[in-house]
Structure 1
Amino acid sequence: MAIDFTYALPYLLLWVAFGVALLTGRRFLALAFTALSLAAAMGAGIVEWAGLAVLVLFAVLCLAAVRSESPSVIRTLAWGIVVILTAALAINQVPGIHNVLVLDGVLVSASSADFTLYWNYDKGFAGILLYAVCVQPQGNPSWRRAILATATLAILTTVVAVGTATAAGYTAWDPKWPAILGVWVPANLLLTCVSEETIFRGILQRNAESFLRGRVPAPGLAALLVCAVAFGVAHIAGGTTYVLLSTLAGIGYGAAYYVTGRVEAGILVHFLVNLSHLILFTYPFAA
């Protein structure tokens, strides 16, 4: 499943921007690679001028929202518009952005429903920018403790979420090594897990905990549950069963962030749950 390099380059540059933000914490270097990605997306026809205007505005507002020297009213207004634009980008509602169709109605296995995959540039751009500008820097927990907690929560979340899905008949046991892994892994890890965990854990859960501190007895746990429900509701297009399953999974992802204080823990748990679903069960769900 080869993808033309012209279309792949914008996403590769988003990967570089994420790596720079993760490993060095240098915000403006990460922004430079994000800008290069945007230029490549323009060249590939993925982003048109209308989309460019929105993405540049989004970047400017993200910077304004975290600029401590700005008046509080400016920061509040910037955050409000960032939230609105994030939602629009995440559900592909910004004009002038044409996401790349990679898989169109393929069968991952004989017992699975058909599966369509887009490389969503709008959602990926939003996630990487928010990660580089609004989430970093983060805390520095004990890495041994963080790795142990992440591995444990990945197993527990998979057992609970995918086990519940199987009990409900949404999925079924179906071990395989699917041919789509080469295009699925980078898309799911970067464009789904990084973006969604940055939004729901790095932005929403962290700020909800700050807001609830002093107002409820356990602000961290309350924020975790609120954001898990919000994560579930965000998947309403998949139906009520999918909302329930996403909420259960969101509790696991939120717990990873709560225990470690790092968005990357939620990203890894999210990805390992999704990967286990793909390799071991019917994907995206039973036919």
Structure 2
Amino acid sequence: MKKVLSIAGSDCSGGAGIQADLKTFSAHGVFGMSVVVSVVAENTSRVIAIQDVTPDMIEKQMDAVFEDIEVDAVKVGMLSTPDCMRAVAAGLRRYAPRNVVIDPVMYAKNGCALMDPNAVGSLIETIVPLAEVLTPNIPEAERIAGMKIGSRADMETAARLIHAMGCRNVLVKGGHAVGDAVDVLFDGTEFRRFEARRIDTRNTHGTGCTFSSAIAANLALGHDVAGAVARAKRYVTTAIEHALPIGKGHGPTHHFYDLYREGLKGMEREVEA
């Protein structure tokens, strides 16, 4: 079984962060592990508080995993401060894992900040160059590239600027644009577009976490970057289409829709037999 590590914040409401990552890994048939960098008291409506784990404890969690278990892919999510970023970067440089997917999380779905606004420079310097795939949404790409994005051509320009910062592939996600959901992947040479119809729902809590985790899982399973993105796009689109109306705000996506539709029925038939 392939093993995938999530390095991210914890979402107690279960829809985003490490909780969403582990659900996504399980849905893809890979074994999920975690390094908690921040504990976030949040729900579908708001972020109440954030408590960061110490850099030393972040590094020790990474040591515990890497010294014992072969890691086939890594997903990095919320890193709220430069200290968190430096600790994670040190561990990634030390162990040099393959297939590092970095989601530069800056805001929760409800707009609450999850990254120190002054930490973007540290993100660019310490984290971006370690990414096999970087997955910013439009607001994040605007902050990293230092430009406004108002069109698909702007998404491509931003992808070029971000790629020049050292990551191998940039996927600028179009979920914040209008019209169909179009994501732009740039590998330094060519652009690929991944398009899906936009689903009319407010229940999109954790979609960025889910998408990047699905990419990491598919890379671990042996797909190339474009193939991993295409498969992850289909998975997250299904999860959004069947999102769950849980909570009073932006509900979570349905990470196990296919399992609930097919797998549990099969298990019930076996029990009945």
Q: TM (normalized to structure 1)? A: 0.29
Point out the structure with the larger helix share. Answer: 1
Q: Which has the higher strand share?
A: 2
Q: Between the two structures, name the one with larger relative contact order (CA 8 Å, sep ≥ 6).
A: 1
TM-score under structure 2 length normalisation: 0.30
